[in-house]
């Protein structure tokens, strides 16, 4: 697909409708099976690992935002969402929309965190952003703890920090990675593998999905 497009300020433009996987379509249409992601085990503190292992199947299902129709939060919009993503960018703005239950996120680019006295726990948290070369880095704190990090019950605390990285190595592909830091649940920070998304092959619009 050639090089990625760029905005007027020279940074990579991440705009587009994106599907998980390599085909530019929903996975149901794909003849290319999803490759299992090879990731390091999450370094849970022993008491947290025991708590997650003890959860029943009912507890796991009823705690998932996709089941209870709560906001997916950060990083759930990327990690707990099988539906397509739409990104709209301007030099000072990042907008992320998904089909699932009208979830959306808006981030002002190149801004610091709010002052401590102005923060409150939010599903999308308080995000500071910066560019690292052609990679957009989003650092989020002050997260609402009701939205899990993964579907295994991995929960957030008031100390959770999520650092996301987005890059567009070529016109047709987008890549996403996130790091979790939380001394109350982890023995050290944990970073996911890069997830790959492909540009819509049919220039599709998002559909209403509640």
Is the pLDDT assigned to residue 108 strictly greater than 80?
A: yes
Mean pLDDT over each residue of the chain, to the nearest integer: 93
pLDDT digits (tens, 9 = 90+) for 45-68: 999 999 999 999 999 999 999 899
State residue 85's pLDDT score: 95
Q: Is 65 within 8 Å of 71 (Cβ atoms)?
A: yes
Note the pLDDT tens digit of each residue in 155-177: 999 999 999 999 999 999 999 99
In whole angstroms, give the CA distance from residue 150 to residue 160: 14
Closest CA to 35 of 161, 195, 201, 208: 195
pLDDT in tens, 74-97: 999 999 988 999 999 999 999 999
pTM metric for this prediction: 0.93
More confident residue, 24 or 97: 97
The confidence score (pLDDT) of residue 30 equals 55
The reported pLDDT for the residue numbered 3 is 97
* pLDDT at site 31: 59
Q: How confident is the model at residue 32 (pLDDT cuts 50, 70, 90)?
A: low
């Amino acid at each position: 697909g050639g090089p990625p497009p760029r905005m007027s300020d020279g940074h990579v433009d991440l705009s587009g409708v994106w599907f998980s996987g390599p085909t530019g379509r929903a996975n149901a249409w794909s003849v290319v099976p999803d490759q299992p992601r090879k990731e390091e085990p999450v370094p849970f503190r022993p008491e947290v690992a025991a708590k997650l292992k003890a959860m029943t199947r009912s507890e796991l299902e009823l705690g998932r935002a996709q089941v209870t129709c709560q906001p997916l939060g950060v990083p759930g919009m990327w990690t707990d969402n099988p539906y397509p993503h739409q990104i709209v960018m301007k030099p000072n703005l990042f907008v992320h929309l998904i089909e699932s239950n009208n979830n959306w996120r808006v981030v002002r680019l190149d801004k610091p965190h709010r002052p401590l006295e102005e923060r409150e726990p939010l599903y999308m948290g308080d995000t500071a952003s910066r560019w690292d070369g052609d990679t957009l880095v989003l650092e989020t704190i002050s997260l609402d703890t009701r939205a899990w990090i993964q579907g295994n019950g991995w929960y957030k605390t008031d100390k959770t920090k999520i650092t996301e990285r987005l890059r567009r190595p070529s016109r047709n592909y987008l890549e996403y990675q996130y790091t979790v830091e939380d001394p109350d649940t982890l023995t050290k920070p944990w970073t996911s593998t890069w997830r790959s998304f492909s540009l819509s092959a049919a220039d599709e619009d998002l559909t209403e999905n509640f």
